Amino acid sequence: MTEANKNNDSKGTGLSTNTASLLCYLLLPPFGSIAMVMLEEKSNVDVQFHGWQGIILGFVFWAGLIFIKILELIIGDTLGGILWMLFVLAVFAAGFISAFKAYRGDRWKIPLIGDFAAKKAGV
């Protein structure tokens, strides 16, 4: 395998595996992840794993925000605002760590959703 092929081993998008995996977390989850999963070959389990994990993280983020906003109506703005900030911080931290590890070529499973993503990717 030539040096150019080693750096560009992703056939579906033309991106390297590390770059495509990174984009699964950076391109407005879950939409960037959906694009990566659909465009990438099924044989590239790294991008598939990061894509599925990004999809799930994106849906957890949006569903969590809706839930917290409804909860905020019940418990008040102050406590709801604190919950909202903690939730957003946790999701962004998980996304940042995942993106960093994906670019390094590691598969870091986000607690509670990583196992489901691995199962969907066939890892």
- pLDDT grade, residue 11 (50/70/90)? low
Ordered by start, the domain boundaries in the chain are 3-121
Measured torsion, CA atoms of residues 27, 55, 101, 38, in degrees rounded to the nearest 10: -70
Query: How confident is the model over 51-95, as pLDDT tens digits?
Result: 889 889 989 999 999 999 999 999 888 998 999 999 999 999 999
For the CA atoms of the chain, what is the radius of gyration?
A: 16
pLDDT at 109: 92
Cα–Cα distance, 37 to 67 (Å, whole number): 27
Asked if 69 and 79 touch (Cβ cutoff 8 Å), the reply is: no
- Could you check whether the bond before residue 30 is cis, i.e. omega within 30 degrees of 0? yes
pLDDT at 4: 40
Q: Is the pLDDT of residue 5 over 80?
A: no
pLDDT at 7: 44
Q: What percent of the chain has pLDDT over 90?
A: 41
Mean model confidence pLDDT for the chain = 82
pLDDT at 55: 87
Asked if 122 and 53 touch (Cβ cutoff 8 Å), the reply is: no
